Structure formats: structure tokens, C-alpha cells
Amino acid sequence: MTRKDYLKDTKRLVVKVGTSTLTFENGLLNLSRIDKLVRELANLHNKGYEVILVTSGAIGAGMGSLGLKERPKTLPDKQAVASVGQVALIHLYQKLFSEYGKQIGQLLLTKGDISNRGRYLNARNSCLRLISMGIIPVINENDSVAVDEIKVGDNDTLSAFTSTLIDADLLLILSDIDGLYTGNPKTDPSATLINTVKKIDDHIKTIATGAGSKFGTGGMATKISAGEIVTSAGIPMIIAKGFDPSIIGDIMDGQEIGTLFLETKVKLKARKHWITYGTTKTGKIIIDNGAITALKNHHSLLSIGIIKCEGNFHRGEVVSICDSNQNEIAVGISNYSQVEVDLIKGKNSSDISHILGYKDYDEVIHMDNMFIF
């Protein structure tokens, strides 16, 4: 199947642009390139595509507004500059998109908006409503309040979650490299571009984080992680160089540009996908070999198979399920708190009411609320 045939049914497209695409080497915004980007996205919208833009660049815009020559280094400075820059950036997008007759809507998200189920669904409903109204959502991290989100490459993960959030047909990540190579093209002259990745396995991850590669931190590695998230949800991903935004139209016309990551054959159900990738794990439950066998046979986790627990988690929170060597074998939503699990671990389900004085569930984690790796 050709790339054109593969993409012919694509309708809802998430485009992620990184700092390297939007700014010059000095950190300031590349206004000419941003204008070309907006024109390409507006043109796709005119063709009937539903377009969602995930953008970096708030700090770069803030540097320009404040007249800074160097990128801020401390977290408070980054947050302050991002706060100023976010206003400037969205104003720039609004001005440029309006010149092509397009309305935009802004969404600022953090990991908390993804990991909290209620906020996740609210963000989904808001974004889908914007799309249905013909408005182009422009999404960024809320860098002015986030602590650990201001990291290079974090918007790769955000774009992946955005894609699953709104059931996108394709995630297109525009980067400073043509796609995934067999090695680091800056140090390995024999490295060649990989056209298609059928499955993200350990070999692909090794390529992305190979020794001496600058893509190991906040670069290609985060893009591969983003690929894991979207492909497991049944959404393909393309990584391509974004220095010339006109390639967006070329890619959607079916030209063999960048690296295409195919979706997995077995698509995770939405709830289990959110449990696996979208949540913050607040603790660990260590289980014995008998419980491991039960889980692999699609049974729920019972108290009798629990050795111990770690962390301070509450009912309804997502925890990691590990073997005695701390290897994560599953994740799931706990029916009991860490304090309760500590009391009932190693005991039969029939003893829970006697130990706790109540028993709301027979299972500590039900199989429907669990994903086994």
C-alpha cells in the first residue's frame, strides 16, 4: 500500500510543532516560518481536514516581548517568561489565522488535565466542540504553572495525548530532523532514513536513544514514546522535518516524506489506554507468582496474592503492579487505599470485612480496570 492510499481516509489531523521549528537559534520566534505554517494549516482546513495544532514557543515569544537575548535558565524565570510569551504567541496565531479567515481557540493543558479522569473528559468535550464549530484548537502546555513540564520534547507527549483525546486519524510531528534514522546521522555517515516503522520495539527504542545521540534527551526518544502512546490507540504517526512547512501539504498528498509509524493491530480500549498512558501512578503493589499467573490468565488481583505495597495511594487512584523484583507487569485502578491494602495483603477476600469492618469489593483491582503489559 502506498503512503497516499494509507492516508486517503485521514480527516482529523494533529500537527505538533516544536521550539526548533518555531524559533531561530537565538531562541526568538521565526515569524516567516510561523506564517507559512499557519497558511499550510489554514489551507488543509479549507480542504476539509479537521486541524488541531499543538505548539511550543511560549518561552521564545516571551523572550521577544521582554527583549531577552538568552533563554532563561531557572524554573521561575522560565515560568515567568512563558507566562508573558503565551499571551504573545496566541495573539500571533490569532492574527495570522484570521488573515486566512480562520478562528482559533486556545487550550492550556498540564499532566494533571490528562491524569484526572474528569478533567480529561472535560478537555475532550471542549476540544471536540471547537472542532465541530469549525474552530482550530491551538494547544500548549501550561508552562507558567507546570513544574516538570518545561522540558524539551514534552510537547511530543502532549501531542500524543491530544491525539488520543480527540480520536485523531494522524499525528504529524514536525521536528529538526527528517525522521527516524538507522543511527545518528550527525555522527554515522552510513545512517539511512527509515521510511516505515511497523512496530515500536526494543530495537527502535535503542536507535532513538543510542550512545552519542543528542536525540536521547528530549529529542527522538520522546517522539518514540509519543509514538507508543498513539499507535497503541490505533493512530498512526509521522515524524518529518518542519523547517519548510509546505511539506505538511505534501505529506497529506501522499508523498513519502519522513518516517511513518503504523498503528498497532490490536487497539487498546479507551479506558485501558488512559489507565496505561494517561495517568500518574501514585504507588506500587507487589504481588507473588501465583497472582502473576492469575493476572496473565485475565483474572482480577485479589488480596491474597499481594506481598506488600509502596507509596501513599487512595481508592480510585492508579498504581503499578510489580513482581518481587520490582518489574512492572501491569497498571490498574485500586479499589482500596494503601492503608487498607496493607491490612488485607496476603488474606482471603472472605476475610476483608472482618479485618476492615466492611468490604466494598472482593478484588483489590478488577481486571476491567487493569492493563497487563
- Residue 183 annotated as binding? no
223 labelled ligand-binding: yes
Least confident of 138-147, 350-359, 362-371: 138-147
pLDDT band for position 151 (50/70/90)?
Answer: very low
Is residue 210 scored above 60 in pLDDT?
no
* DSSP single-letter state for residue 112: H
Does 218 appear as a known binding residue? yes
**pLDDT, average across residues 148-171:** 78
Is 217 annotated as belonging to a binding site? yes
Domain spanning 3-272: CATH 3.40.1160.10: yes
CB 213 within 8 A of CB 220: yes
Q: Is 20 annotated as a binding residue?
A: no
Q: How many CB atoms lie within 10 A of CB 262?
A: 15
Identify the pLDDT of residue 211. Answer: 36
Per-residue pLDDT, 71: 84
Q: How far apart are CA 136 and CA 131, in angstroms?
A: 6
User: Is 155 annotated as contributing to ligand binding?
Assistant: yes
Cα Rg for the chain, rounded, in angstroms?
A: 23
Task: Tell me: is residue 58 an annotated ligand-binding position.
Answer: no
Q: pTM of the predicted model, to two decimals?
A: 0.80
What class is the 281-372 domain? mainly beta
Which range among 57-61, 121-125, 169-173 has the greatest average pLDDT? 169-173
Domain-by-domain residue ranges, the chain? 3-272, 281-372
- Average pLDDT across the chain, whole number: 88
Burial class (CB in 10 A: 0-12, 13-18, 19+), 357: exposed
Q: How many residues comprise the chain?
A: 373
Q: Which of 69 and 311 is assigned the larger pLDDT?
A: 311
Q: Is 56 annotated to bind ligand? A: yes
33 has pLDDT over 60? yes
pLDDT at 147: 54
Does the annotation flag 74 for ligand binding?
Answer: no
Q: State yes or no: 191 annotated in a binding site.
A: no
Sheet containing strand 283-287, edge to edge, reads 306-311, 283-287, 318-322, 328-333, 370-372
Ligand-binding site membership of 175 (annotated): yes
